[in-house]
Structure 1
Amino acid sequence: MSYTPDTTRIGFIGLGIMGAPMARNLLKAGYDVTAYNRDSSKTEAFVKEGGKAAGSIAEVAAGVDVVITMVPASPQVEEVVLHEGGVLDHLREGGLVIDMSSITPQTSQEVANAAKEKGISVLDAPVSGGEAGAIEGALSIMVGGEQDTFEAAKPVFEALGKTIVLCGPHGSGQTVKAANQLIVAVNIEAVAEAVVFLEKSGVDLTAALDVLNGGLAGSTVLTRKKAGILAGNYKPGFKIDLHHKDMGIVTDAARAVGAAVPAGALVAQLVAALRQQGDGQLDHSALVRGVKRLSGESGN
């Protein structure tokens, strides 16, 4: 079995910053995609691009082979997949649920167990790469689940990303995503501190970031976020609110296995503080604003 464009119908739930371009890339790859989103204006836009729209979770799940969910957090996954009237109540036996949200490993395991009772396969497959990676179809996809299910779903993943890795059993994808969010948050905070340090020192910031990004200090974070930081533009590619949620997952999961994450715990507090200051809807690179405030500036 292989979920190829010529044989597979996909239901897509969640047309947000990441979900909308991902669903579009599935269309471009030739898949028959039906989308559901609470904000119907987003499904209307998707229809104009060649997709189909469903008016409910039941409708989106009933007529497809694969359901992909891309929603904010564990409660939303539980609502759309596990609750009465959710995906598991309407997807055919033998179907596949691919949850690409960033949630707790425990929730992924609960979804897999509930689906197994109904003869439905599950993969947890969170992504990294931000809005740009979603638009470009260049996401890194970290997957948890069974090997044969992963192999069958490979064509779907290849329409969405470039680095696609099975990390282990159910929940493993989410554990790796938590580690990803730890690395990204600490990296952004380091960039933010360097930016403020450089600005206060009177250095040409553009030149400094260019040369830093060409050496060992270089990173995908700096490459992706540099232009926005230089322009003071924090239009969200990944919101502070969502990274706050993810840092909670990181610290809880690390505590559960006895792993020390001191830098992660500190940055989790800085992300939480930025959120409380009203910046939750900004891009996570807005950590620069938090460092500026700590340095006696306005944070603009």
Structure 2
Amino acid sequence: MAANCVRAGHEVTVWNRSSDPVELFLKAYDAKAAEDPGRLTCRCEAVITMLANDDASRAVYFGPTGLIQSPGAKLLVEMGTMSPGLVQELSSAATAAGKAFVDAPVSGATQAAEDARLLIMAGCEQDAHPVLADVFGSMGRKTIWLGSTGAGAVMKLAVNMLIHGLNQTVSEALTLAGRAGISESDAFDVIENSAVAAPMLGYRRAHYLNEADQDVSFTLDLAKKDVTLALALADELGVNMPQTQTTLDVLKMAQNDGYGQRDMASVFAFMKGQAR
């Protein structure tokens, strides 16, 4: 995502919680680096973060050299998958510090990020921050402007809830077909060309059929985090989601069985191991 901003002609300064990715990025792209979040915001008009979870986001935004209290950038944008509650907390804190905060999570895997083909779900009006349309256009194929703070976070949870549910049911379908004597490759061909086909099946085919030999695209631990957040929001809003609860139960079992740091497609391997 940062590389695509550089390619689009934006002046980019980067910081990362671990230093190795920064060093590699600077060797590959015309960009600068900051020593910490505070120095980053001092050098930028807008700061965009892509963080793994609420704890990481709290540390970067509220830490001693965090983005909220540091001078400089007046626009802060979080593009990771966060709880709606944290998004509201960040927005309130940013407003109190004289800054604006936008939640703008994305849908799309690693390849979509590399190809600038992400879907961006922005929790603001399209004309609220003019710089965003250009920046988002550098990273994604489409931005849907949802009008209000937190709406992006809610939609991201809803989308990921569907993705992880599909991940589970595809794994079950492949396990069933395999037990009946159909090759996994043939079964996947049928699913991928059927009425239930979704874009993720195409770009994740290798992860389902040969997960152990693929780079991890999205860990099972992160899948569990997403589904847990979605169910927490559902409980808060009084929405019953029994199918998503089942997805979470399976993710927990797989995590307890040592699959946490494997790709989320490893649920298929877990389901095959569960078959009697």
The answer to whether the superposition gives a TM-score over 0.5 is yes
- Which residue of the partner structure matches residue 176 of structure 2? 197
Cα distance in 1 between the residues matched to 2:235 and 2:130: 33
Cα distance in 2 between the residues matched to 1:274 and 1:235: 19
Cα distance in 2 between the residues matched to 1:200 and 1:134: 36
Percent of aligned positions with the same letter in both sequences? 27
Cα deviation, residue 151, structure 1: 4.5
Q: Is the 8 A contact 1:240 1:282 kept in 2?
A: yes
* CA deviation string 1:94-124 (max 9, x = no partner): x211100111011111111111122211110
Choose which of 209, 226, 231 in structure 2 pairs with 1:230. 209
Q: Which runs of 5+ in 1 are unaligned?
A: 1-21
Equivalenced residue count is 274
Choose which of 193, 207, 231 in structure 2 pairs with 1:251. 231
Q: Which amino acid aligns with 2:223?
A: H
Q: Which amino acid aligns with 2:66?
A: G
* CA deviation string 1:231-290 (max 9, x = no partner): 233531111111111111000000100111111011011111111111111111111022
- List structure 1 runs of 4+ shifted beyond 4 angstroms: none
Q: Which moved more, 1:173-182 or 1:234-243?
A: 234-243
1:44 aligns with 2:23: yes
Cα deviation, residue 163, structure 1: 2.3
- Which residue of the partner structure matches residue 292 of structure 1? 272
CA-based RMSD: 1.5
- Which residue of the partner structure matches residue 94 of structure 2? 115
- Which residue of the partner structure matches residue 183 of structure 1? 162
Q: Which amino acid aligns with 2:245?
A: A
Q: Normalising by structure 2, what TM-score?
A: 0.94
Q: Which amino acid aligns with 1:49?
A: A
Partner SS state of residue 142, structure 1: strand
- Which residue of the partner structure matches residue 40 of structure 2? 60
Cα distance in 2 between the residues matched to 1:107 and 1:276: 27
Check 1:87–1:30 CA distance in 2 against 1; reply closer, same or farther (3 A cut).
same
- Which residue of the partner structure matches residue 242 of structure 1? 222
Structure 2 counterparts to residues 161-176 of structure 1, below 5 A:
161-176=140-155
- Which residue of the partner structure matches residue 19 of structure 1? none
1:131 aligns with 2:110: yes
Q: Which moved more, 1:232-241 or 1:35-44?
A: 232-241
Q: Is the 8 A contact 2:126 2:133 kept in 1?
A: no
- Which residue of the partner structure matches residue 262 of structure 2? 282
Q: Which amino acid aligns with 2:194?
A: G
* CA deviation string 1:196-235 (max 9, x = no partner): 1111111133233223212202112321221222223353
Cα distance in 2 between the residues matched to 1:147 and 1:140: 15
Cα distance in 2 between the residues matched to 1:102 and 1:268: 17
Cα distance in 2 between the residues matched to 1:206 and 1:178: 30
Q: Which amino acid aligns with 1:256?
A: E
Cα deviation, residue 161, structure 1: 0.9
Q: Is the 8 A contact 1:92 1:120 kept in 2?
A: no
Cα distance in 2 between the residues matched to 1:240 and 1:254: 21
Q: Which amino acid aligns with 1:48?
A: K
- Which residue of the partner structure matches residue 101 of structure 1? 80
Structure 2 counterparts to residues 211-226 of structure 1, below 5 A:
211-226=190-205
* CA deviation string 1:113-164 (max 9, x = no partner): 1111222111101111111211111111111124432544111111111121
Q: Which runs of 5+ in 2 are unaligned?
A: none
- Which residue of the partner structure matches residue 187 of structure 2? 208
Partner SS state of residue 101, structure 2: strand
Cα distance in 1 between the residues matched to 2:191 and 2:26: 44
